[in-house]
Amino acid sequence: MNSYGGERLKIMQNSDVPIYKQIAAQFKEQIINGKIAEGELLPSIRGLARDLKISVITTMKAYELMTEEGLISAVQGKGYIVNAQDREMIREQHLRTLEQHLQNAMDEARLAGVSPDELVEMINVLYKV
């Protein structure tokens, strides 16, 4: 029944990010980079809750969020399966968000008097962490 072949999820209990968002983000990452294939069945809501030691409503909410984003869809009597993904489009979306964030970073840098070179250096350092 459980044909889920993706990686184990890692949940941080005390993070500021709600657990359902952590779950959705990790699934999303795996779906986008192809670790979970189209048409694959995700673990059942209650099975995943059991494995991750979290409440059922949390996994349910994560799946709802992914359904809203069009990543997965509910199949009556079976569970949730991964939709066909337009990876190019998703990547495009992410690039746009990234651009937005960089713009914000540059605005802050200007206010703080950080030079472009210093900013690049900061990014390089953060990447290595």
Partner 1 sequence: MESIISASGLVKSYSKFTLGELDFAVPKGFATALIGANGAGKTTLIDILCGVIHANSGEISYFGEFTDPDSPAVRERIGYCAAAGFFPTNWKAKNIASSFEIAYKNFDRGNFARICDELGVESHLAKKQLPMYKLSDGNRMRTALAAVFARETDLLILDEPGSTLDPLMRDRLCDKFREYLDRGDGEKSIIFSTHNIADMENATDYAVFMGNGKIIETGFVDDLKEKYIIVRGDPENFPAARELLLSYSVNSTTFEGLAYAENSEKLRLLGAVTERPSLQTLSVGILKYAEGKR
Distance between CA atoms of residues 96 and 40, nearest Å? 28
Q: Does 54 engage in binding with partner 1 (CB under 8 A)?
A: yes
Smallest distance, partner 1 to C-beta of residue 96, A: 26
Our measurement of the distance from residue 40's CA atom to the centroid of its chain's CA atoms, rounded to an integer in Å, reads: 17
At closest approach, how far in Å is the CB of 53 from partner 1? 6
Q: Rule CB under 8 A: say whether 2 interacts with partner 1.
A: no
Which member of 5, 39, 56, 92 binds partner 1 (CB under 8 A)? Answer: 56
18 binding partner 1? (CB under 8 A): yes
Q: Are 6 and 38 in contact (CB under 8 A)?
A: no
Q: What six digits make up the tokens of 79?
A: 């569970």
Determine, following the binding rule CB under 8 A, whether residue 58 of this chain makes contact with partner 1: yes
Instruction: Collect all residues with Cβ–Cβ distance below 8 Å to 5 and sequence separation of at least 6.
Output: 36, 37, 40
| Residue ranges that bind partner 1, judged by CB under 8 A | 13, 16, 18, 20, 44, 46-47, 49-50, 53-58, 61
